[in-house]
Amino acid sequence: MMRFKRFLNESLLYEYLTDVQQKKYSKVKMTPEARSSTDHFFGVGNDHVREDIKGQDEENKSEVHKKVENHIGSPIDVDSYKKGIAKDKYGRDVKIGRVIKDEKLRNEFARDSTRAGVKSSHGHYCTVVRGTEVAGQTNSAPNAEHPKGHSWGDESCKNVDDGSNAQYLKHEIKHGTVVVRVHDHSNKEIYRATLQPHHNDQGNTAYKLNSEYGVKHSNFTKHANDVASRLSGEHKGGSIGYKIHPKVYNDDRNDLILHPNATKEHLDLGMKDEDPNIRKAVINHPKATKEHLDLGMKDEDPNIREAVVRRSNATKQHLHLDLGMKDEDPMVRRYVVLHPNATKEHLDLGMKDKDPNNRLSVINHPKATKEHLDLGMKDKSNFVRLSVINHPKATKEHLDLGMKDEDSMVRGYVVQHPNATKEHLDLGMKDKSNFVREAVVRRPNATKEHLDLGMKDEDSMVRGYVVQHPNATKQHLDLGMKDKSNFVRDLASKRLAAQS
Single residue among 73, 98, 116 that ends a domain in this structure:
116
Do 148 and 15 lie in one domain? The reply is yes
Domain-located, residue 468: yes
Single residue among 116, 132, 149 that ends a domain in this structure:
116
Give the SS3 label for residue 381.
coil
User: Exposed/middle/buried for 326, CB within 10 Å: 0-12, 13-18, 19+?
Assistant: exposed
Select the more confidently predicted residue: 439 or 500.
Answer: 439
Residue 169 carries which DSSP code? H
Give the SS3 label for residue 401.
helix
pLDDT level of residue 146 (50, 70, 90 thresholds): low
Give the SS3 label for residue 359.
helix
Do 179 and 44 lie in one domain? The reply is yes
DSSP-assigned states of every residue in 228-281: HHHHH-S--SS-SEEEEPTTS--SS---EEE-TT--HHHHHHHTT-S-HHHHHH
Do 200 and 180 lie in one domain? The reply is yes
Domain-located, residue 277: no
Convert the pLDDT of each residue in 73-103 to its tens digit: 778 877 788 888 888 766 677 899 888 988 8
Q: Which residues contact 58 (CB under 8 A, 6 or more apart)?
A: none
Count of structural domains within the chain: 3
Q: Give residue 118's pLDDT.
A: 42
Domain-located, residue 368: no
Do 193 and 90 lie in one domain? The reply is no
Mean pLDDT taken over the chain: 88
Give the SS3 label for residue 181.
strand
Bridge partners of residue 198, in order along the sequence: 206, 244
Domain-located, residue 327: no
Mean pLDDT lowest among 29-43, 62-76, 279-293 = 62-76
CB 491 within 8 A of CB 463: no
Q: Which amino acid is at 91?
A: G
Residue 231: count other Cβ atoms within 10 Å of its Cβ. 24
Do 100 and 161 lie in one domain? The reply is no
Nearest-angstrom CA–CA distance, 215 and 191 = 5
Do 400 and 449 lie in one domain? The reply is yes
Single residue among 214, 235, 262 that ends a domain in this structure:
262
Convert the pLDDT of each residue in 424-455 to its tens digit: 999 999 999 999 999 999 999 899 999 999 99
Q: Which amino acid is at 460?
A: S
Give the SS3 label for residue 427.
helix
Domain-located, residue 331: no
Domain-located, residue 319: no
Return the percent helix, strand and coil in the chain, to nearest 5. Answer: 45, 10, 40
Do 132 and 78 lie in one domain? The reply is no
Nearest-angstrom CA–CA distance, 478 and 351 = 52
* pLDDT score of 170 more than 90: yes
Domain-located, residue 341: no
- When pLDDT is averaged across residues 350-366 and rounded to a whole number, the result is 95
- The distance of Cα 445 from the centroid of its chain, to the nearest Å, equals 34
Select the more confidently predicted residue: 168 or 90.
Answer: 168
Residue 436 belongs to domain with CATH number: 1.25.10.10
Do 94 and 126 lie in one domain? The reply is no
Do 498 and 406 lie in one domain? The reply is yes
Q: Which residues contact 403 (CB under 8 A, 6 or more apart)?
A: 411, 414, 415, 424, 427, 428
Do 131 and 112 lie in one domain? The reply is no
Domain-located, residue 99: yes
* pLDDT score of 7 more than 70: no
Which conformational region is residue 83 in: left (phi greater than 0), alpha (psi within -120 to 50 degrees), or beta?
Answer: alpha
Say if strands 93-95 and 189-199 run parallel, antiparallel, or are unpaired: unpaired
How many residues does the structure list for the chain? 500
CB 180 within 8 A of CB 193: yes
What kind and span of H or E run contains 386? helix 382-390
Number of H helices, E strands in the chain: 27, 10
Select the more confidently predicted residue: 495 or 163.
Answer: 495
Q: Which residue range forms the structural domain that includes residue 83?
A: 57-116
* pLDDT score of 144 more than 70: no
Do 411 and 449 lie in one domain? The reply is yes
What kind and span of H or E run contains 5? strand 5-7
Nearest-angstrom CA–CA distance, 431 and 428 = 5
* pLDDT score of 414 more than 90: yes
Q: Which residues contact 381 (CB under 8 A, 6 or more apart)?
A: 356, 359, 360
Do 90 and 189 lie in one domain? The reply is no
